[in-house]
Amino acid sequence: MGLGKREKNFERYLAKHFEIELPKEVGLFYAKGVRIGNKELMKSKIHGELGYAACDFGFNPTNALIQNFGYLARKNIVEVKEEEAKEFANGKGIKRDLGTKSKHIIVKYKEHVVGLGFYSKEQKKVLNKIPEKRRREIINEIA
């Protein structure tokens, strides 16, 4: 089963923007948007979750994609300290000057992917893109 144009374009975006190469058992497919899932499950008629949403209707990566596959990224990553990671997980942005180009950013603390952010060059800030229902208040130490 070959990839459609949307899936190929998104795969190229992941490679160019984040330097993410998906594992061979993971594939892209289109089902009410570009999605990522296990290639074997994609062949089945299983109803329910269609896989990790790869992008929204504006072709922007979703937080679900980044939290599941962001560990593969080698580019456009912001390393934060523990306190910043806790604040970001809870929905706050991060003041940081990352240059003159607005772009999607992966926020990490050590080896943990905290979530997806969007760097606003105007605000000099990484805006939080974690959906409200996925935000968490972390009160313990992050190991």
Listed by start position, the domains of the chain span 5-71, 76-134
pLDDT in tens, 13-41: 999 999 999 999 888 888 777 888 877 77
Question: Quick check: helix, strand or coil at residue 113?
Answer: strand
What are 37's strand-pairing partners? 27
pLDDT top residue among 19 and 42: 19
Kind of pairing between the strands at 125-128 and 112-120? antiparallel
Q: How far apart are CA 47 and CA 69, in angstroms?
A: 23
Enter the tokens of residue 140: 């313990």
pTM, two decimal places: 0.84
Which two structure tokens, joined as six digits, stand for 132? Answer: 């409200």
- Domain spanning 76-134 has what CATH number? 2.30.130.60
